[in-house]
Amino acid sequence: MISKIKDLIITNMGEQAIVRLEEEHLQPVLVIRVDDLVETAFLLRDTEGYYFDFLSNISAVDYFPEQRFGVVYHLASIPYQTQLTLKVEMENDRQLDNLPEIPSVSTVWRTADWHEREAFDLMGIFFTGHPDLRRILLPDDWQGYPLRKDYEDADTYHGIAIK
């Protein structure tokens, strides 16, 4: 199935859309370019015979100590009973005033709204075009992104010890 999906993307978007295929995992992972994410998502959702209509999860990945982050999309086609894992990766200098950016897929799958907010809140991935990108679990004035591998826990929050 993964080779058919790869061919579909290449046919419709060109070979440059696919960065690589990772087949060493439990489920194959198709790594695509950040710039092709939204178009690929619409293609996979709307193409007869594939119809990946369900986004079950979005996971953010920190490749520390590298200057690189990833976002993994777990997709399912309910009518065809198939699953697909897509991944995009981006380079970033890890500075809190320069977050890694990726386009939002909330226009493709509505459930992405909440998943992207969680990845923003905990990992500091900025989803351009998101309709309401703000923290979802932590207070609005929280400093940093606690799931980053280089995150240092704060000693206090508004004068209250948190360790």
At residue 149, φ and ψ (nearest 5 deg) are -70, -20
CA separation for the pair 125, 62 (Å, rounded): 10
Q: What is the pLDDT of residue 1?
A: 84
Return the SS3 of 108: coil
Q: Minimal CA–CA distance to 63: which of 127, 126, 148?
A: 148
Residue 145 gets the label, from left (phi > 0), alpha (psi -120 to 50) or beta, of: beta
- Average pLDDT of the residues of the chain: 95
Q: How many domains does the chain have?
A: 1
CATH code at position 83: 3.30.460.80
CA separation for the pair 124, 10 (Å, rounded): 31
Q: What is the pLDDT of residue 162?
A: 84
163 pLDDT higher than 80: no
Q: What percent of the chain has pLDDT over 70?
A: 99
CA separation for the pair 150, 127 (Å, rounded): 21
User: 157 vs 107, which has greater pLDDT?
Assistant: 107
Q: What is the pLDDT of residue 154?
A: 85
pTM listed for this prediction: 0.93
CA separation for the pair 124, 96 (Å, rounded): 8
Q: What is the pLDDT of residue 27?
A: 87
Q: What percent of the chain has pLDDT over 90?
A: 88
Q: Minimal CA–CA distance to 103: which of 74, 133, 127?
A: 127
Count the Cβ atoms, other than its own, within 10 Å of residue 81: 7
Q: What is the pLDDT of residue 46?
A: 97
User: For the segment 33-45, what is each residue's pLDDT rounded down to a tens digit?
Assistant: 999 999 999 999 9
Q: Which domain holds residue 109?
A: 2-161
pLDDT-based confidence at residue 30 (cuts at 50, 70, 90): very high
At residue 53, φ and ψ (nearest 5 deg) are -95, -5
Asked if residue 65 has a cis previous peptide bond (ω within 30° of 0), the answer is: yes
Count the Cβ atoms, other than its own, within 10 Å of residue 122: 19
Q: What is the pLDDT of residue 155?
A: 86
User: For the segment 95-125, what is each residue's pLDDT rounded down to a tens digit?
Assistant: 999 999 999 999 999 999 999 999 999 999 9
